[in-house]
Amino acid sequence: MPPLDGDLSLVTGGRKLSGWQGVRVTRGIERMPSDFDIVYTERFPGEADAVVVKPGDACEVKIGDDLVITGYVDRFIPSISPATHTLRVIGRGKCQDLVDCSAEWPSNQISSATVLAIAEKLADPYKIKVKALSDVGEPIPQINLLWGETPYQVIERIVRARALLAYDGPDGNLILARVGSERHRTGFEQGVNIEAAQAMFGMDLRFSEYVVRRLSMSSVSEAGSDGDILVTVTDKAVPRRRKRYIIAETGIEAAGLSQRRGLWEAARRAGRSYYVTLTTTSWRDGDGMLWTPNRRVSLKAPALKIDSVDWVISEVTYRRDAQGTHADLVLMPPDAFEPMPIVLNPTLADVIPGQVQP
């Protein structure tokens, strides 16, 4: 028998509050930050009065003994009616400050620093640590900050240059990682632990050819009508002619970026054309681990035309209400999460035809 899910508790001000009647906690690798929405309804007169939470309070959200969110209370919403007295608490992970606030930097220019070092310095004023689960690559020679940009906008821009994802962990700190290779030992199977599911198989996002072209800055550089084509990538799974032109950023072809951009466009669009949303009756897998974003999981659902796949958990929502305990998950192929390759600071060789870096 699978282990019990455990009760959800909110720890704030040295107090542990539990017994919530309505619970929703959501985490994901494309959701920044994680967030929660919980409701307490008194069963006995005056019971709700003992629950005191203030906006801005630091808090932890736990399921059983497992920490799922470390952050702050955003809103405290008490309400009354002739029959009920309810308290609603809404909050987000610590990384909310990276999303909401403006970036603090001594100047608007960053030079010769790795993605990890930049993220650490941007996160430090908000007492957020940064952990890299993958190699962060070479230092970025230079990047200019735009006035008013948030730390997360800067971080999201630079991690794409190093093919990384940025999302928050249960401890509230920032994680830099590639698509996960760790997996849940048990998965989802029709007739076993899938309560409801829906698959989406699409073709509207995909194209038979992706043609990466440069915007030439010199009229004498044109070599016929196709002289500006850098690379063509085909998707043979598309059953008819559907061509898509992509303008390479600043006309870049340095370091094979155009090829990578074309391959990324094809792979990501294919990955986004297949996904499954499903509901299961447990917050945990068969080994007692909470369903966790960026972990791979097996899926068998013949009725959805899916015999057996190994996909990634994009998002998970733990919820409990009058209808019982459920986990809602979004599963996608790993290719759906490949960040778009970009060059942060083009050089003259990137924009002047005929002067291509090796």
Query: Which CATH number is 155's domain given?
Result: 3.55.50.10
Q: Taking the CB of residue 275, how many other CB atoms lie within 10 A of it?
A: 18
Amino acid at 291: W
Length of the chain: 358
106 and 225 in a single domain? The answer is no
Per residue in 32-57, pLDDT tens?
999 999 998 866 566 666 667 899 99
How confident is the model over 328-348, as a mean pLDDT? 72
DSSP conformation letters of 136-201: --SPEEEEEPPTT--HHHHHHHHHHHTT-EEEE-TTS-EEEE-S---B-SS-EETTTT-SEEEEEE
Residues 18 and 156 in one domain: no
Residues 155 and 291 occupy one common structural domain: no
CB atoms within 10 A of CB 230: 19
- The boundaries of the domain holding residue 228 are 209-271
CATH classification of the domain holding 19: 2.30.300.10
Q: Is residue 343 part of a domain?
A: no
User: Is 347 within the bounds of a domain?
Assistant: no
**Nearest 10 degrees: CA dihedral of 119, 123, 124, 125?**
140
Question: Is 64 within a domain?
Answer: yes
Final residue of a structural domain among 73, 93, 113: 93
224 and 258 inside one domain: yes
Retrieve residue 176's tokens: 């830099």
- Residue 87 sits in the same domain as residue 28: yes
Q: Do both 276 and 193 map to the same domain?
A: yes
In a domain, 346, yes or no: no
Are 46 and 73 found together in one domain?
Answer: yes
Q: Is 160 within the bounds of a domain? A: yes
Number of domains in the chain: 4
DSSP code of residue 338 = P
- Provide the pLDDT for residue 1: 36
Question: pLDDT tens, 82-92?
Answer: 878 888 999 99
pLDDT greater than 70 at residue 344: no
Separation between Cα atoms, residue 355 and residue 273, nearest integer Å: 38
End-to-end CA distance of the chain, in Å? 59
Evaluate whether residue 350 is within a structural domain: no
Q: Which residue has the higher pLDDT, 108 or 290?
A: 290
Q: Is residue 105 part of a domain?
A: yes
Domain boundary among 245, 271, 297: 271
222 has a pLDDT exceeding 50:
no
Neighbours of 314 (CB within 10 A): 20
**3 inside domain:** no
Boundary of a domain, candidates 55, 72, 93: 93
Average pLDDT over residues 333-337: 85
DSSP string, 85-126: EEEEEEEEETTHHHHHSPP--SSSEEEEE-HHHHHHHHHGGG
Distance CA 358, CA 344 (A): 18
Phi, psi (5° rounding) for residue 134?
-135, 165
Residues 279 and 301 in one domain: yes
| pLDDT at site 302 | 95
Average pLDDT over residues 218-237: 66
Phi, psi (degrees; rounded to nearest 5) at 147:
-60, 125
Same domain, 256 and 218: yes
Query: Is the same domain home to 197 and 57?
Result: no
Contact status, residue 259 vs residue 266, Cβ threshold 8 Å: no
| Half-sphere exposure of residue 268: CA atoms within 13 angstroms, side-chain side | 14
86 and 156 inside one domain:
no
Asked if residue 71 and residue 31 are part of one domain, the reply reads yes
Helix, strand, coil percent content, the chain, rounded in steps of 5: 20, 40, 40
Q: Report strand pairing: 324-332 vs 306-321.
A: antiparallel
Distances (CA, A) of 204 to 209, 270, 338: 14, 10, 20
